[in-house]
Amino acid sequence: MADAPATTDVVVLGAGMSGLAMAIGLKRAGCDDFVVVEQSAGLGGTWWDNRYPGAHVDVPAPLYSFSFAPNPHWSRRFAAAPEIQAYMERCAERFGVRAHLRLGTRIVAARFDADAGRWAIETADATGRATLHARFFVCSTGPLSQPRWPAIVGLADFTGLKLHSARWDPKAIAPGMRVGVIGTGSTASQLVPPLARDAQRLHVFQRTANWVLPRLDRRYTALDRALARLPPYAWLVRRFWYHFLEWTRRGFDEGTLARKNMLHLAERHLRTQVSDEALRAKLRPNYPLGCKRIIYSNDFYPALGRPNVELVTDAVERVTPAGIVTADGRERPLDALVCATGFDTVHLLSSLEITGRDGRTLREAWADGPRAYRGVAVAGFPNLFLLLGPNTGTGHTSTLLYIEPQVRHAIACMRALRERGARWLDVRADAMAAYDAALQARLAHSVWSACRSWYRMEGGRIVALWPGFTREYVRSLARPDPRDYEFA
């Protein structure tokens, strides 16, 4: 890691997948004047933070690598977290990004100076505070970076071991402990099986059952890895999975063949893996498939059927110093409590004070929920670009397919600014409002509006997901529309 200069052309917040993609994109575009600021001690973002046992990506690994950097080293189709983090390390080394990383450093505030056309970005590390001045500020919003703890009475009073899945201590939970897991979403489906093997007693507290489909996983052989080194073969495998996952997106639309097949597969999976009729009834969802994120797992259901595991569907009433009390009045004593309760995807960048050209903060602009033009630009905040911003998440495929076009769009905007000799560019407020209105109108009639989930706010506004197919989003970012931007 090199010391960052006080003035640079681009500051990138975060060294997760999106921040790494931005850094590599700048390098490939011929820009070396940038700094990547990361609060953790290493790069990886989600894959640095999430070290719980069983952590893996839930899309096929051939699609979870950059299009310009295929990875022939995957050991299996659904890669584990350490493998993904190692892949990121290799990419950083290969593309010369490592010298631009400023690790162990937080960005605490950023203010735009319209006269100078530059951002003043305040940072903090172990040695104190400093200010970076940059023409462009790129924020990876990190939708899966802010752990959400459950709002349960007495949680702070628990005297045993208390962990969030995204802040895991690998030495904390020992074999033979009595463990409680709150949550049965995607993270819990990965975490529960290894915990079930070692726990004396495991209580899994479920608020809502989830749709679970088989994970089409397998271990890659030496032949697979040899073939993956051949560009035509790697391209074909990647295209196959791209089109397969786009087909599963059709499963979110009522009346499609894909949906009928997925519903049939989910029911067969449940019946095949859960023989106990009472347990099966508890695990059958009561909301439309796709409304919440689908779980892909081959070992979650069997883990719940183990004799030392209990699925608890009575509501959690409170946490005591020694365990959890449910609505039926029963207290279950625990040595460890694991909260697999996901992330805050609504209050994006809430820990930063980002101030735009009119003195308005991003927190004020997003008081009614985060919104952005095509997920990458916010009116009133010139020369600011978001990666994985509002409504750019996907419920069916790899986020990298959305990150790469966002990076290209941001770099194209930077290039357009330089070519015009302008100080800054800002998306027009009317363009952003029209885009957001059309987007929310589509989402209002989608399956994601049919239940509560981390995709949406309490008032019903869906802030996380893109409603269409990948190709549509990629085309929308192909080149900046000068009519939608204001240049100064």
Split into its structural domains, the chain has a count of: 2
Q: Which of 320, 339, 358 is the last residue of a domain?
A: 339
Asked if the structure places residue 1 within a domain, the reply is no
Q: What is the pLDDT of residue 1?
A: 39
Q: What is the pLDDT along the chain (488 residues), one digit of tens a residue?
A: 345 568 999 999 999 999 999 999 999 999 999 999 999 999 999 999 888 999 999 999 999 999 999 999 999 999 999 999 999 999 999 999 999 999 999 999 999 999 999 999 999 999 999 999 999 999 987 766 678 899 999 999 999 999 999 889 888 899 999 999 999 999 999 999 999 999 999 999 999 999 999 999 999 999 999 999 999 999 999 999 999 999 999 999 999 999 999 999 999 999 999 999 999 999 999 999 999 999 999 999 999 999 999 999 999 999 999 999 999 999 999 999 999 987 776 666 777 899 999 999 999 999 999 999 999 999 999 999 999 999 999 989 999 999 999 999 999 999 999 999 999 999 999 999 999 999 999 999 999 999 988 899 988 999 999 999 999 999 999 989 999 999 99
Residues 215 and 110 in one domain: no
Helices of type H across 155-230: 186-198, 222-228
Q: Which helix (H) or strand (E) holds 28?
A: helix 17-28
CB 125 within 8 A of CB 302: no
Amino acid at 126: A
Q: Which domain holds residue 181?
A: 155-339
Residues 43 and 132 in one domain: yes
**Gap between the Cα atoms of 76 and 1, Å rounded:** 32
Residues 41 and 84 in one domain: yes
Residues 231 and 170 in one domain: yes
Residues 387 and 402 in one domain: yes
Residues 210 and 312 in one domain: yes
In DSSP terms, 146 is beta-bridged to: none
Asked if the structure places residue 232 within a domain, the reply is yes
On the CB side of 481, how many CA atoms lie within 13 Å of its CA? Answer: 13
CB 90 within 8 A of CB 24: no
CB 422 within 8 A of CB 488: yes
Q: Which of 339, 374, 397 is the last residue of a domain?
A: 339
Residues 177 and 319 in one domain: yes
Asked if the structure places residue 467 within a domain, the reply is yes
Tokens 């989402």 -> residue = 443
Asked if the structure places residue 2 within a domain, the reply is no
Asked if the structure places residue 132 within a domain, the reply is yes
CB 143 within 8 A of CB 343: yes
Residues 348 and 226 in one domain: no
Q: What is the pLDDT of residue 2?
A: 42
Residues 255 and 363 in one domain: no
**Gap between the Cα atoms of 237 and 385, Å rounded:** 32
Residues 364 and 471 in one domain: yes
- CA distances in angstroms from 250 to 116, 223, 246, 259, 260, listed in the order given: 48, 33, 7, 7, 10
Q: Which of 277, 306, 339 is the last residue of a domain?
A: 339
As given in the structure block, the two tokens for residue 135 are: 């023409």
Q: What is the pLDDT of residue 188?
A: 96
Centre a 10 Å sphere on the Cβ of residue 86 and count the other Cβ atoms it contains: 16
Q: What is the pLDDT of residue 3?
A: 53
Residues 92 and 227 in one domain: no
What is the rounded radius of gyration, in angstroms, for the C-alpha atoms of the chain?
Answer: 23
Q: What is the pLDDT of residue 344?
A: 73
CATH number at residue 182: 3.50.50.60
Q: Which helix (H) or strand (E) holds 119?
A: strand 118-125
Q: What is the pLDDT of residue 5?
A: 62
Residues 331 and 386 in one domain: no
As given in the structure block, the two tokens for residue 249 are: 């997106």
CB 37 within 8 A of CB 59: no
